[in-house]
Structure 1
Amino acid sequence: MADAPLDLAALERELRHSGLRRLAISWVNHAGATLVKVVPIGALAAAARVGVGFSPVSDAFRSDGVIDPAHGLARPDGDLRLVADLEALTSLEASSGWAWAPGNRRHRDGTPYAGDQRSCCQRLQRQLEHNGLTVQAGFELEWMVGLPTAEDRALEAVMAGGPYGADRLVEGLDYAAAIGDACDSAGLPWLQFHPEYGRGQFELSLAPGSPLEAADRLVLAKLLVQRVSRRFGWHCSFSPKPMAELVGNGGHLHLSVRRHGDPLLQGGSGPGGLSEAGASLLGSLLEHLPALLPLACNHPVSFRRLAPGSWSAPFQAWGIENRETALRLVPAGGDGAAAHLELKVADLTANPYLLLGAVLATVAEGLATSYPLPEPIEGDPARLGAEAPPRLPAGLAEASQAFGRSSLLRAALGETLHGSLLDSQQAECRRAEGWDDDTLLAASRWWPIVGGL
Structure 2
Amino acid sequence: MPATAAMVANDDPTAAQLAALAEQLSGRGLTRLAVTWVNHAGATLVKVVPATALTAVTRRGVGFSPVSDAFRSDGAIDPEHRLARPDGDLRLVADPASVSPLEPASGWAWAAGMRRYRDGRSYEADQRCFCQRLESRLAADGVSLQAGFELEWMVLGGHDGLQPAVAGGPYGADRLMEALDYATALTEALDAAGLAWEQLHPEYGQGQFELSLAPGSPLQAADRLVLARLLIQRVSRRFGWRCSFSPKPFAEQVGNGGHLHLSVRRHGQPLLEGGEGPGGLGREGTALLAVLLRHLPALLPLACNSAVSYRRLAPGTWSAPFQAWGIENREAALRLIPAEADGASAHLELKVADLSANPYLLLGAVMAVLAEAPADVQESTAWPALPEPVVGDPARSGEAAPPRLPATLAEASQAFAASTLLRRALGDPLHASLIDSQQAEIRRAEGLGDEALLAASRWWPIVGGL
TM-score, normalised by the number of residues in structure 1:
0.98
Task: Tell me by how many angstroms 1:205 deviates.
Answer: 0.1
- Counterparts of 1:186-201 in structure 2, within 5 Å, are 186-201=193-208
Partner of 2:13: 5
What is the CA deviation profile of residues 95-148 of structure 1, one whole-angstrom value per residue up to 9, with x for unaligned ones? 000000000100000001000000000000000001100100000000000126
Give the secondary-structure state (helix, strand or coil) at the position aligned to 2:372: helix
Amino acid at match of 1:300: A
What is the CA deviation profile of residues 303-338 of structure 1, one whole-angstrom value per residue up to 9, with x for unaligned ones? 000000000000000000000010000000111000
What is the CA deviation profile of residues 6-53 of structure 1, one whole-angstrom value per residue up to 9, with x for unaligned ones? 512211111111000000000000000000000001211110000000
Partner of 2:106: 96
Alignment of 1:349 with 2:362, yes or no, is: no
Which residue of 81, 84, 107 corresponds with 1:74?
Answer: 84
- Greater mean alpha carbon deviation, residues 69-78 or residues 5-14: 5-14
Give the secondary-structure state (helix, strand or coil) at the position aligned to 1:119: helix
Task: Tell me by how many angstroms 1:451 deviates.
Answer: 2.6
Give the secondary-structure state (helix, strand or coil) at the position aligned to 1:19: coil
Partner of 1:158: 165
**Which blocks of at least 5 consecutive residues in structure 2 are unaligned?**
1-8, 378-383
Partner of 1:400: 413
Task: Tell me by how many angstroms 1:452 deviates.
Answer: 2.1
Which residue of 372, 381, 386 corresponds with 2:385?
Answer: 372
What is the CA deviation profile of residues 339-370 of structure 1, one whole-angstrom value per residue up to 9, with x for unaligned ones? 00000000000000000000001111123586
What is the CA deviation profile of residues 204-224 of structure 1, one whole-angstrom value per residue up to 9, with x for unaligned ones? 000000000000000000000
Q: Is the 8 A contact 2:158 2:165 kept in 1?
A: no
Alignment of 1:126 with 2:126, yes or no, is: no
Give the secondary-structure state (helix, strand or coil) at the position aligned to 1:141: strand
Give the secondary-structure state (helix, strand or coil) at the position aligned to 2:407: coil
Which residue of 286, 293, 315 corresponds with 1:308?
Answer: 315
Which residue of 367, 377, 393 corresponds with 1:360?
Answer: 367
TM-score, normalised by the number of residues in structure 2:
0.95
Task: Tell me by how many angstroms 1:4 deviates.
Answer: 7.4
Amino acid at match of 1:28: V
Alignment of 1:411 with 2:424, yes or no, is: yes
Looking at structure 1, the residues matched to 133 and 385 of structure 2 have their Cα atoms a distance apart, in angstroms, of: 28
Alignment of 1:424 with 2:431, yes or no, is: no
Amino acid at match of 1:296: A
Amino acid at match of 2:27: H
Which residue of 250, 263, 267 corresponds with 1:260?
Answer: 267
Partner of 2:70: 60
Partner of 1:109: 119
Alignment of 1:330 with 2:337, yes or no, is: yes
Give the secondary-structure state (helix, strand or coil) at the position aligned to 2:373: helix
- Counterparts of 1:5-44 in structure 2, within 5 Å, are 5-6=13-14, 7-44=17-54
What is the CA deviation profile of residues 33-74 of structure 1, one whole-angstrom value per residue up to 9, with x for unaligned ones? 000000001211110000000000000000000000000000
Give the secondary-structure state (helix, strand or coil) at the position aligned to 2:371: helix
Give the secondary-structure state (helix, strand or coil) at the position aligned to 2:222: helix
Looking at structure 2, the residues matched to 202 and 227 of structure 1 have their Cα atoms a distance apart, in angstroms, of: 15
Partner of 2:225: 218
Looking at structure 2, the residues matched to 289 and 163 of structure 1 have their Cα atoms a distance apart, in angstroms, of: 30
Q: Is the 8 A contact 1:444 1:451 kept in 2?
A: no
Alignment of 1:278 with 2:278, yes or no, is: no
Partner of 1:384: 397
Looking at structure 1, the residues matched to 410 and 39 of structure 2 have their Cα atoms a distance apart, in angstroms, of: 19
Q: What fraction of aligned residue pairs are identical, expressed as a percent? A: 72
Looking at structure 1, the residues matched to 339 and 55 of structure 2 have their Cα atoms a distance apart, in angstroms, of: 45
Q: Is the 8 A contact 1:266 1:278 kept in 2?
A: yes
Q: Residues 28 and 148 (structure 1 numbering): CA distance in 2 closer, same or farther, change over 3 Å? A: farther
What is the CA deviation profile of residues 257-277 of structure 1, one whole-angstrom value per residue up to 9, with x for unaligned ones? 000011000000010000100
Q: Is the 8 A contact 2:76 2:464 kept in 1?
A: no
Q: Residues 431 and 272 (structure 1 numbering): CA distance in 2 closer, same or farther, change over 3 Å? A: same
**Which blocks of at least 5 consecutive residues in structure 1 are unaligned?**
none
RMSD: 1.3
Task: Tell me by how many angstroms 1:450 deviates.
Answer: 1.9
Q: Residues 81 and 423 (structure 1 numbering): CA distance in 2 closer, same or farther, change over 3 Å? A: same
Looking at structure 1, the residues matched to 195 and 37 of structure 2 have their Cα atoms a distance apart, in angstroms, of: 18
Task: Tell me by how many angstroms 1:5 deviates.
Answer: 2.3
Q: Is the 8 A contact 1:443 1:451 kept in 2?
A: no
Give the secondary-structure state (helix, strand or coil) at the position aligned to 1:420: helix
What is the CA deviation profile of residues 205-260 of structure 1, one whole-angstrom value per residue up to 9, with x for unaligned ones? 00000000000000000000000000111100000000001100000000000000
Q: Is the 8 A contact 2:284 2:375 kept in 1?
A: no
- Counterparts of 1:134-153 in structure 2, within 5 Å, are 134-147=144-157, 150=160
Q: Is the 8 A contact 1:182 1:224 kept in 2?
A: yes
Looking at structure 2, the residues matched to 333 and 302 of structure 1 have their Cα atoms a distance apart, in angstroms, of: 33
Amino acid at match of 1:438: E
Looking at structure 1, the residues matched to 369 and 13 of structure 2 have their Cα atoms a distance apart, in angstroms, of: 33
Which residue of 286, 297, 300 corresponds with 2:304?
Answer: 297
